[in-house]
Amino acid sequence: MTENNVVLRCRDLCKHYQQGPERLDILRQVDLTIGRGERVAVVGPSGAGKTTLLHMLGGLDVPSSGAVELAGHNLAAMNDKARSALRNRELGFVYQFHHLLGEFSAAENAAMPQLIAGKSRKQALSSAAEMLDKVGLGHRLKHRPAQLSGGERQRVAIARALINRPACVLLDEPTGNLDADTAQGVQSLLDELNREFAISLVVVTHDTALAQRMDRVLTLRNGALEVQA
Ligand SMILES: Nc1ncnc2c1ncn2[C@@H]1O[C@H](COP(=O)(O)OP(=O)(O)OP(=O)(O)O)[C@@H](O)[C@H]1O
């Protein structure tokens, strides 16, 4: 993989928490390289550190040691403003509990990353409508999250994650609270968007069907990545 094709990389990533006299090692020397357009699943038992890893990769939490590089920039070496701008441009996030803003419509929620990036409201809402159409929600633009089904909310979160055409989307259990049909729909949508925009995907999941669709499946156990066969 050439350097230009690397979207996200972590080297020797460690995270620990101090609890009284005890040190809890949550991530242990994780090395990981995600290529452009690559789809990677991270699996492993509950408590293995998967969500913690995803948070570190997304710059939502700070490593105890080691480095995370996004599009060639070491996140720890940047100031808050530059780091936020880079994250907003290069990354999308989809969480199990999607964190949509209840007082805003589907279109406004999906438009949020563009509004943050300084686009006009008109422009952002127009891109949001286009993206929501792509995820099959063109007819639900004005609905608020409470007026949408679980699967629809998840698709709004996916539209929001993709609206800036990020280099990489980080997903935490994207099918976790969906029924089998809707989960299948989200899987197909991710495949399609990955193909169409060459967006890299890092998916933390217990859903083996979803994990098997990725290009690589990494297993995290007790904070360390298992060596691949
Ligand atoms: N702030 C914290 N202080 C102490 N321990 C923490 C803190 N945050 C997370 N942990 C611990 O880190 C471990 C890994 O948590 P994490 O959420 O990353 O696991 P996970 O692999 O995503 O689990 P699951 O599959 O159940 O979601 C857990 O044992 C958790 O208790």
Write the pLDDT tens digit of every residue in 116-134.
889 999 999 999 999 898 8
CA–CA distance, 209 with 99 (Å, rounded to integer):
25
Q: 49 CA distance to ligand 1 centroid (A)?
A: 5
Q: What is the mean pLDDT of residues 18-36?
A: 94
Domains belonging to the chain, first-starting first, are 3-225 (3.40.50.300)
Res. 228 pLDDT band, cuts 50 70 90? low
Ligand 1 atom nearest 206 alpha carbon = 25
Does residue 194 have its Cβ closer than 6 Å to ligand 1? no
Q: What is the mean pLDDT of residues 61-81?
A: 92
Q: 204 CA distance to ligand 1 centroid (A)?
A: 13
DSSP string, the chain: --GGGEEEEEEEEEEEEEETTEEEEEEEEEEEEEETT-EEEEE-STTSSHHHHHHHHTTSS--SEEEEEETTEEGGGS-HHHHHHHHHHHEEEE-TT----TTS-HHHHHHHHHHHTT--HHHHHHHHHHHHHHTT-GGGTT--GGGS-HHHHHHHHHHHHHTT--SEEEEESTTTTS-HHHHHHHHHHHHHHHHHH--EEEEE-S-HHHHHTSSEEEEEETTEEPPP-
Residue nearest atom 27 of ligand 1, based on CA coordinates:
46
Ligand 1 atom nearest 48 alpha carbon = 21
Q: What is the mean pLDDT of residues 172-195?
A: 82
- Answer yes or no: is pLDDT of 16 > 90: yes
Does residue 200 have its Cβ closer than 6 Å to ligand 1? no
Does residue 30 have its Cβ closer than 6 Å to ligand 1? no
Extract the tokens encoding 216. 């690589």
Res. 99 pLDDT band, cuts 50 70 90? confident
Q: What is the mean pLDDT of residues 98-102?
A: 86
Write the pLDDT tens digit of every residue in 166-175.
999 999 988 8
- Answer yes or no: is pLDDT of 97 > 80: no
Residue nearest atom 4 of ligand 1, based on CA coordinates:
17
Does residue 49 have its Cβ closer than 6 Å to ligand 1? yes
Residue nearest atom 30 of ligand 1, based on CA coordinates:
47
Quote the mean pLDDT of the chain: 90
